[in-house]
Amino acid sequence: MTDSRKIKFNDEFDFKLFLNITRKSIKYIVLFAILLFAAVFVYLRYTQPVYEAACIVQINTDDKAEKLFDNKTYYEDDIYRKIEIMRSPVFMQRVLSNLPLGVSVFVKGNILNFELYDDVPFDIQYEIVDSGFYGLPMVVEVRDSDFVVSEINGSPADTRFHFHEPVSLPQVKFVFTPLNGDSKAFFSANRNKQFILKFNNPKDLAAKYSQQVNIAVINDVAKTIRISLKDYNPRKAADIVNSVAREFAAFEVEYQKNSSTSILEFIDSQLGQVEENLDESKDSLRNSAGPVVDSTIDRTTLQSRLFELDNLIAVNSSEIEALENFQNTFINGNADIITLLSLISGIESQVYLSPYLQSLKELEIKKQELLLRVTENSTAIESLNSQIDFQRKIIKESTTGLISKYKKQQQRYQTEKNNILRMLGRPVISSMNQQSRIERYYTVNEKFYNQLIEKKIEYSIAQAGYVSQLIVLQPAQSSYNPVSPNNKLIWIGAFIFAIVVSFAFLILRYVLYNEVVSLRDVKKLTSVPVLGVIPKYKS
């Protein structure tokens, strides 16, 4: 009998029953809505808002220098290559180096911490001691007239300091300086506040923001792109985005000038060399001209002097060759003193260099004898080493000076010889074939020189005309309307969710409702005619 009093399934809709179920479920629906809206409120209240800053730029391809000289530009106009440059960590490190991101300062709250960015009330000068401290938090509390480092990376600490007082920790060294020099105003405004400091590694920051900065092409034909960044601080997001555009504009100019600068440096070096070649060719042509012989000149005396100059030039050449051989052997250190003396034997410079070589030999012998009694690190050995080094320096400089002196003498002798040859009517270059070769060489150098001058003018003008091809159409502004979380969207979604869940709850209860509440329910369970209902009353 107990089982026969239950309805197995509601296969017909009963509006009165549905209203009755709704009335009984209203308290559960209200409780669910209160809990849902409370959860949404807590989420919106204690979720860090995310802000977005964006700027729109256009990459212009109008190269006036290219149009002026009809030259192909050395800078690629592929917009996607430029976007990859902007996204690269190396370029991002250049962008961030101009922003105050070395130290991140947060105001500690009960639940959320707020980054101050460029609104820090004090200046920090620091030096990282332990590179592993990058990115780790350090809590600094503000007291009545000083500071306390109360926590370092979660570990308690107790280091008190004042403004302008250097603080040396195992991880970092730093000094606090008040803005505008007013420490009293700082303590009155920030007493009992807690600041969280994080020292940032530039490479880590560059890698982080190179992934977060979003660069997208808006119009491929118009060469417009959108640079955007989402961050918890709206001013920092705007500054980074604007700095990306600004630094890329400067980078473009530098990149375009690099090739022109290299070409101009090459042209300058070639101009100097070509000028020397032209001067030498002029002198050779002038010397080969065969001047008119003066009949009053004593030819015998001049020929005697010419013979004497030939001997002097030969002696000087031998002297220079011997000295250069000696110098190379001495510098390489491949020979002993006896070998070095043999290299300068019989030349004039032997008189100057032999005493120095003898002194060097005596010092080395003395050093070898002393090493039998003392160690290599003794004071006496160090003193002898200093004397030996000084003696070697004297020999080296003396040899260089002698070579320079003989080369100058050689040049004077050769000049005097050429003058005598011209006075005697003998051309310095006697062959006409050689003279023709010099003339051709001079013509080629002159033409090359003129071409270099023209190219130098062109590239100088082109370099002066290089400007940034990036035009900022819309700079980034600090927007204080967060993109996440979206309060309006979340509240609407929560309201719709509450309605849907409540309605689903009512339908579920209605479908699963199987109690007998009326005469109609009894008739569904039996085929016996029902005359009426006898109510049951509790005594």
Tell whether 134 and 20 lie within a shared domain. no
Tell whether 37 and 148 lie within a shared domain. no
Take residue 115 and report the two structure tokens written for it. Answer: 């980054």
Tell whether 330 and 414 lie within a shared domain. yes
The band of 35, judged by pLDDT with boundaries at 50, 70 and 90, is very high
Q: What pLDDT digit, counting tens, does each position of 344-379 carry? A: 777 887 787 888 888 888 888 888 888 887 777 788
Amino acid, res. 292:
V
Q: Collapsing DSSP states into helix, strand and coil, what is residue 246?
A: helix
The band of 391, judged by pLDDT with boundaries at 50, 70 and 90, is confident
Tell whether 404 and 515 lie within a shared domain. no
Q: What is the mean pLDDT of residues 158-183?
A: 90
Neighbours of 175 (CB within 10 A): 15
Look at residue 14 and tell me if it is in a domain: yes
Structural domain including 137 reads 103-199
Look at residue 443 and tell me if it is in a domain: no
The band of 537, judged by pLDDT with boundaries at 50, 70 and 90, is low
Take residue 14 and report the two structure tokens written for it. Answer: 């009963």
Contacts 24+ apart (CB under 8 A), 260-263: 260/74, 260/459, 260/462, 260/463, 260/466, 261/463, 263/455, 263/459
Residue at a domain's end among 393, 408, 426 = 426
Tell whether 313 and 415 lie within a shared domain. yes
Tell whether 521 and 405 lie within a shared domain. no
Residue % of the chain over a pLDDT of 90:
29
- How far is the C-alpha of 85 from the C-alpha of 469, rounded, in Å? 15
DSSP 401: H
Domain count for the chain: 3
14 versus 234: the higher-pLDDT residue is: 234
Q: Which of 7-21, 61-75, 337-351, 373-387 has the lowest mean pLDDT?
A: 61-75
For residue 57, pLDDT over 70 is answered with yes
Residue at a domain's end among 167, 199, 231 = 199
Q: What pLDDT digit, counting tens, does each position of 206-236 carry? A: 999 999 999 999 988 888 999 999 999 999 9
The sign of the CA dihedral 317, 320, 324, 330 is positive
Residue at a domain's end among 177, 199, 221 = 199
Look at residue 342 and tell me if it is in a domain: yes
Tell whether 311 and 419 lie within a shared domain. yes
Tell whether 298 and 378 lie within a shared domain. yes
Tell whether 301 and 188 lie within a shared domain. no
Look at residue 54 and tell me if it is in a domain: no
- How far is the C-alpha of 290 from the C-alpha of 372, rounded, in Å? 72
Q: What is the mean pLDDT of residues 455-461?
A: 79
Distance of alpha carbon 240 from its chain centroid, rounded? 15
The band of 62, judged by pLDDT with boundaries at 50, 70 and 90, is low
Average pLDDT value over all residues in the chain: 81
Sheet with 113-115, side-by-side order of all strands: 113-115, 103-108, 194-199, 137-142, 147-152, 155-161
Take residue 402 and report the two structure tokens written for it. Answer: 């002698």
Sheet with 51-59, side-by-side order of all strands: 214-219, 224-231, 51-59, 470-474
Look at residue 380 and tell me if it is in a domain: yes
Quote the pLDDT of residue 372.
Answer: 80
Residues in the chain: 539
Q: What is the mean pLDDT of residues 516-526?
A: 66
Peptide bond into 156 cis (omega under 30): no
Q: Answer whether 0.75 is exceeded by the pTM.
A: no
Q: What is the mean pLDDT of residues 457-467?
A: 73
Take residue 383 and report the two structure tokens written for it. Answer: 């003193």
Q: What is the mean pLDDT of residues 45-55?
A: 91
- How far is the C-alpha of 226 from the C-alpha of 401, rounded, in Å? 67
Residue % of the chain over a pLDDT of 70:
84
Quote the pLDDT of residue 125.
Answer: 92
CA distance readout (Å), 163 to 101, 166, 519: 21, 8, 89
- How far is the C-alpha of 22 from the C-alpha of 525, rounded, in Å? 25
Tell whether 160 and 39 lie within a shared domain. no
Look at residue 213 and tell me if it is in a domain: no
Look at residue 391 and tell me if it is in a domain: yes
Tell whether 43 and 107 lie within a shared domain. no
Tell whether 13 and 124 lie within a shared domain. no
Look at residue 75 and tell me if it is in a domain: no
Across 165-304, the runs of DSSP E, i.e. the strands, are 167-168, 172-178, 194-199, 214-219, 224-231
DSSP 181: G
